[in-house]
Amino acid sequence: MKRCLNKILLLAACLCLALSAAAPAQAEPTANYTNMGIYDYALVSGTDSLNLRSGPGTEYQWLGSLAAGNWVGVMGESGNWYHVYVLKTGQFGYMSKNFLKRGDGGSGGSTTGVVSNPIPTQFLNLRSYPSYSAPVLGIFYNGATFTLLSATGDGWYQVQISGMTGYFRKEYVRLNGGGQTAYVRSANGGKVNLRSAPSYNGSSIVGQYAPGTQVSVVLSSPLAGSFWKININGAAGYMDSTYLSTSSPVYPVDPVYPIPGPAPVTHGTAVVKNPKASQKLNLRAQPSTSAKIIAQYGNGVKFQVIQAGETWTKVYGSASGNIGYFMTKYLTLSGVSYMKTVKNGNSYVNLRSSPKKTAGNVYTKVPSGATVTVLIPGDEWTKVRYNGTVGYMMTSFLK
C-alpha cells in the first residue's frame, strides 16, 4: 500500500512539472503612460530627494525615495499630495506637492511679457507669421501683456494675446522673466524626436525637429541625459537634454527654421564664398556685425536673394525657410541687381540722413523715376546712394 502511494505521489509531481514547463514565460509589460491614467508629469525639485509613501501623508508606509531631477507621472491629487507613478522604478505611491514642479497648472513654466515700444505713443503689430510682410492680426500699445509660446531664430516671439496667437518683434517687448531658450542639436545632423512623456519607454513621438530649431524651456532637469519639457512653436513635449544646447548654435549646413506662410519673393542666387575654405560666414538677423548670428556657413552653400545690396544682401534658404543677411563681399551673386527705381507717382521721395521720419534729416528730394544704388536692403528703410549722396529711403517707394 505504501509503495502504491509513493507511485501516485511521484506521478503527481511529474505531472506538475510537465504543466509548469508547458506554461509560456510572461515578458515584463512595457508601460503605456497614456493608458495608465497619467495626465501630467512633474519634476522632483527643491530637495535632494523626495519620499514616496503608500498614502497621502507622512504617517503612511515609506516606499523609497527619488533624487532631485527625476520625473514622475501625476495620476491624481489628495490634499497636498500627488498620486504618482515613478518613471525610473515603476513604483506607485504618493509624494508631497511641495517638491514636485509641473510645467502647467499654475506651478510655473509660463513666461509672460509686455509690449514696450521706445516711443510710448506708437503701437506694435501682431503678425500672423514671423515677417514684416505678414498680415497684421491686431495692434497693441505699451503695457499690453502676452504669454510667450516660443522664439524664432531671427528675432520674433510667438505669443498669445487677447485670444489670438501671432508674432511680435522681440525689440519692442519686454519679458517678465524666465523663458530660457535652447537649441536642438544633433551630432549627425538628423532630426530629434519630441515625445509625449519624459521617457523613451511608454511615450509616443509628437514631432521631429532639425538641429538649430529654437525652443522655449518649460522645465529642465540638472541630471545628465534627462528629459526636458519644452515648447516649440506652441507644441509642448519632452526632449532628451542630450540633444539640447543653451548656447547659440553653429552649423556648417543650412539648419531648418520653418517660416509659416508663403515664401518671400526672390531674384537670383547667392553662393557663400569665404576667403579661406576653412572659414564660416555669419548669417545675421539684421544687417549689422553686432546683430545676432542665426548660423554660420561654409563655401558653396546656396541661397535665394530677396534683395541684394553693395554692403549687405538679404537672403532666403529655400530648403529651410531661413532668412537673414550676409555681407555681400563674401558672396557670389547671380541674376541680381543693386539698382532700384524710385516710384511715387509724379512726386518725389525724401533721401534722409537716418531711417526716421523726423524734421531736419532730409538730404535731398529724389524725383520719381530716378535710379538709386541699394547699399543695405531693409523691410521698412533701405540705405541707398543717389548722385554720390548716401542716405535712407522708405523701402515701399523702391521698385
pLDDT at 63: 96
Nearest Cα neighbor of 6 from 14, 16, 20 is 14
E-strand ranges in 32-180 read 40-44, 49-53, 62-67, 71-78, 81-86, 92-96, 100-102, 111-115, 123-127, 136-141, 145-151, 156-161, 164-169, 173-175
Task: Please indicate, yes or no, whether the overall pTM of this predicted structure exceeds 0.85.
Answer: no
CB 391, CB 363: distance < 8 Å: yes
Domains in the chain, start-ordered, CATH in brackets? 34-102 (2.30.30.40), 111-175 (2.30.30.40), 181-245 (2.30.30.40), 269-334 (2.30.30.40), 339-397 (2.30.30.40)
Q: Rg of the Cα trace of the chain? A: 30
Regions of the chain short of the pLDDT cut 70: 1-35, 104-112, 150-154, 175-179, 187-189, 233-234, 247-262, 318-321
Nearest Cα neighbor of 154 from 333, 384, 379, 376 is 379
pLDDT at 21: 31
Q: Tens of pLDDT along 148-200?
A: 776 665 678 888 898 888 989 888 887 654 457 788 887 666 788 999 999 98
pLDDT at 109: 40
Cα 13–chain centre separation: 65
- Dist CA 310 CA 303 (whole Å): 17
Nearest Cα neighbor of 396 from 202, 181, 132, 148 is 132
Q: Tens of pLDDT along 98-121?
A: 899 887 533 334 566 788 887 777
pLDDT at 228: 92
